Amino acid sequence: MKSRFLPALLLALSLSAPAWAADTRTLSMGGHGEVQGTPDLATITASIATSAPTAAQALAANTARMAGVFAALKKMGVADKNIQTVNFSIAPQYAGGGNDNPRRLTGYQVSNEVSVRLEDVAKLGAALDALVTAGANQMNGISFDIAQPAPLLEKARTDAVADARARAETYAKAAGVTLGPILSLSEGGGEVRPLRMAAPMFAMAKAVPVAAGQQSVAADVSVVWEIH
């Protein structure tokens, strides 16, 4: 048989909790940590655009040139898993369109875009040259990344908590209070900020000079202290 006094006891406890919480003074503060690292991965997005009077002709030309691009990448040692088609389109091309010159179909354009991930940044310049030499006529961008960001992110999180504490201590001193124990700590989201740069439209020389620079790994936290 269930006790009639249990619901009443639970209700009494729930009503008493807010009164206790209301007596607790708190200070909330955010913290930011950011660490720089050297990228060791690079991703190139490049495409081949071909035009011809018919869609079949444009596709055949595009296919032949893309086969050359794939062969050049494999010759460099780029694994199949690191080459991915990201966009493909066939579009009619028109000329004219004025009142006295009706728009007319002039041909078709085929565009095939690939993403190439390099596990050795030192090969980036050679890869750009190989892509253009093999037939890529549009370079759509380069991005850099860090293969193992976890150690950098751990340092960024530590710095974020230290930053929050330093700020909180400044405010607590100014307000004439003392920091007590931490009541809650949450992360706003750690991130590796991708470093992007525009790729040259055409390679001007062998081993295109490219600088990877530094990349930021950041973390943000929110901490709540009890104050006295």
pLDDT at 9 over 70: no
pLDDT at 192 over 80: no
pLDDT in tens, 131-168: 999 999 999 999 999 999 999 999 999 999 999 999 99
Give 150 or 196, the one with higher predicted confidence.
150
Predicted confidence at residue 206, as pLDDT, reads 52
Q: What rounded mean pLDDT belongs to the chain? A: 84
Predicted confidence at residue 211, as pLDDT, reads 77
Distance CA 33, CA 35 (A): 7
pLDDT at 21 over 70: no
DSSP for 111-157, written as a single string: EEEEEEEES-GGGHHHHHHHHHHHT--EEEEEEEE-S--HHHHHHHH
* Whole-prediction pTM: 0.70
pLDDT at 5 over 60: no
pLDDT in tens, 32-41: 999 999 999 9
Q: Return the exposure string of 111-129: e unless at least 16 CB atoms fall within 10 Å of the residue's CB, then b.
A: bbbbbbbbeebebbbbbbb
Structural domains in the chain plus CATH codes: 25-38+148-193+214-228 (3.30.110.170), 41-145 (3.30.70.2970)
User: 190 pLDDT band (50/70/90 cuts)?
Assistant: low
Is residue 134 within 8 A of residue 78, CB to CB? The reply is: no
Predicted confidence at residue 156, as pLDDT, reads 95
Give the amino acid at 206. K
pLDDT at 11 over 50: no
Please report, rounded to a whole number, the percentage of residues in the chain having pLDDT higher than 70.
Answer: 81
User: 189 pLDDT band (50/70/90 cuts)?
Assistant: low
Predicted confidence at residue 207, as pLDDT, reads 60
pLDDT at 101 over 80: no
Predicted confidence at residue 99, as pLDDT, reads 72
